[in-house]
Amino acid sequence: MYYTIPLANTPNQTFTSTIPIDGNKIKFNFFLRFNTEAEYWVLDIFNSDNTSLLASVNLVTGANLLAQYSYLKIGSAYLIKVDNSITDDNPNEYNLGTSFVLAWGDTI
């Protein structure tokens, strides 16, 4: 089962979400920004004490964004394209949260 993280395409935003992972509810703080030169979204992830867990996770489709960090036991996350009318496979600065959603689930 996956939990959808509410995203908006507002650059340089900070938000908090409590996510059910491996039978626990874990609170995370996030910082989301759009890299205008490289044209992709980047996510920083912090624990509830605002200690950095991961920095500059590129939001791209097609892979578990947290696979290489399974030792942290913070689950798995996938950026999913939900709008088949667009041809891009990754979000631009305007369609994150509408044409693409972030699904977060248990550690794989």
Query: What percent of the chain has a predicted confidence (pLDDT) above 70?
Result: 100
**How much is the average pLDDT of 36-63?**
96
Instruction: Tell me if residue 83 falls in helix, strand or coil.
Output: coil
Residues 6+ apart with CB under 8 A from 27: 16, 17, 18, 19, 47, 48
The per-residue pLDDT for 30 is 98
Digit-coded pLDDT (tens) for 54-87? 999 999 999 999 999 999 999 999 999 999 999 9
Compute the mean pLDDT over every residue in the chain, rounded to the nearest whole number. Answer: 95
Domain boundaries, the chain: 3-105
Task: Tell which residue, 91, 86, 28, 13, has the closest CA to residue 59.
Answer: 91
